[in-house]
């Protein structure tokens, strides 16, 4: 397993769930989920095997040794099986904030969407707030899955902004909703 130089810990655990530095072996499952859920991602075309290989070999492998990477990505595991992935992206090291990213196995969404989001948030907050001492974590969501907002708000994220008609989706402009949470642990 690869490790992020910047992190004191690299494995974060909650019961049988954990996040670990993104694993090469999970890249094609991640590609599949991203392609299935392209509608809510900032991704304008389906990924190919070549795209995914290139991304992992040219971008991901370089993140581990960087002093201040612009993203820190994890495989989200149940026991040792990858059931999602995400991380802290668009990291701003000066202002100490980062965007939370998370995509779960598409098959889990109908029955376990809220459970895995809540579980994942508790793990990624350990990284952001405890390990990296970020001041703020935030989300950036196309206004397509309103069930997300009740989860964020129940977990202490405040709705901070609505970017009106910010993205073009299926022939119309849609809003982007941003939620944020300040570090209360410091």
Domain at 12-135: CATH code:
3.40.630.30
pLDDT at 130: 96
Domain-wise residue ranges, the chain: 12-135
Structural element, H or E, at residue 21: strand 17-21
Cβ-based neighbours of 45, under 8 Å, separated by 6 or more: 38
Global pTM?
A: 0.91
Q: Tens digit of pLDDT for each residue in 47-81?
A: 689 988 998 899 999 999 999 999 999 999 999 99
DSSP character for 185?
-
pLDDT in tens, 102-143: 988 989 888 898 999 999 999 999 999 999 999 999 999 877
> CB-based contacts of 83: which residues, under 8 Å, 6+ apart?
76, 77, 104, 105, 108, 116
């Amino acid at each position: 397993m690869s490790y992020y130089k910047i992190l004191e810990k690299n494995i974060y655990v909650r019961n049988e769930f954990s996040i670990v530095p993104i694993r090469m072996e999970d890249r094609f499952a991640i590609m599949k989920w991203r392609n299935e859920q392209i509608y809510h991602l900032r991704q304008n075309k389906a990924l190919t095997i070549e795209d995914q290989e290139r991304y992992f070999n040219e971008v991901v492998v370089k993140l581990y040794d960087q002093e201040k990477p612009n993203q820190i990505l994890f495989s989200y595991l149940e026991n040792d099986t990858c059931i999602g992935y995400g991380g802290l992206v668009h990291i701003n090291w000066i202002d100490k904030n980062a965007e939370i990213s998370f995509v779960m196995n598409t098959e889990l969404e109908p029955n376990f969407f809220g459970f895995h989001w809540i579980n994942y948030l508790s793990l990624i907050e350990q990284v952001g707030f405890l390990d990296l001492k970020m001041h703020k974590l935030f989300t950036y969501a196309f206004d397509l899955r309103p069930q997300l907002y009740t989860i964020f708000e129940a977990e202490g994220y405040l709705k901070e902004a609505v970017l009106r008609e910010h993205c073009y989706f299926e022939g119309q402009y849609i809003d982007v909703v941003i939620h944020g949470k300040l570090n209360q642990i410091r």
